[in-house]
Amino acid sequence: MSYTMDANSQALVRNVTPVPAQRVLVVANQAASSPALITELRDRAKRGPVDIHLVVPALNGHLRHWLSDTDGAVLAARRRGEDALAVLTSRGLPISVEIGDSVPLLAIGDALAQFPADEIVVATLPPNRAHWLEQNLVVLARRKFNVPVRHVIAREEVALAA
């Protein structure tokens, strides 16, 4: 921020340099509209301007993947993405959504190629219900990407509703 003096008057004019929005990539499936994720993103937005991009991996079973039957997985991911978009925008959060690869780590890499994020938030179900934790997604993302990775765990009531 700087101040300049107008030559014809004694008024000070304040020049404000806008703060660039921090770019946050969120990777979530069933926890995409969980209260825990909403709280995390709202807290993040309170610290300054934020641009949020949600990627919902089109998760599929092994047999359906092997048979190249991805329609159901893409449709389910699209529904979750639309639901999350509605919930998060209703909470005042600026968000865009995309459907990602069925392999969450690849979905993160693809999203980062188009949306260079300052941080990644991985939202999962609780440990007893989260397949991504069994695959060590959070640990692998921290190793692979040169971006801070935060892990948000949805509460049990979200897991039961999913």
Does 68 have pLDDT greater than 60?
no
pTM of the model: 0.80
Residue 1 located in a structural domain: no
Residue 8 located in a structural domain: no
Residue 118 located in a structural domain: yes
Buried b (16+ CB within 10 A) or exposed e, 130-140: bebbeeebbee
For residue 62, name the pLDDT band (cuts at 50, 70, 90).
very low
Least confident span in 36-45, 91-100, 151-160: 151-160
Task: Considering only residues 67 and 136, tell me which one the structure prediction assigns the higher pLDDT.
Answer: 136
Residue 11 located in a structural domain: no
Residue 117 located in a structural domain: yes
Domain count of the fold of the chain: 1
Residue 31 located in a structural domain: yes
Residue 154 located in a structural domain: yes
Average pLDDT over residues 74-93: 93
| Residue span of the structural domain in which 30 resides | 19-161
In percent, the amount of the chain with pLDDT more than 90 equals 60
Q: What is the CATH number of the domain that holds 58?
A: 3.40.50.620
Residue 76 located in a structural domain: yes
The most confident of 2-6, 93-97, 125-129, by mean pLDDT: 93-97
What sections of 1-154 are H helices per DSSP? Answer: 35-46, 62-66, 71-90, 104-114, 131-134, 137-144
Query: Amino acid letter at 73?
Result: A
Secondary structure class of 120 (helix, strand, coil): strand
Strand order, beta sheet including 50-57: 95-100, 50-57, 22-28, 119-124, 149-153
DSSP 146: S
Say what the pLDDT of residue 126 is. Answer: 86
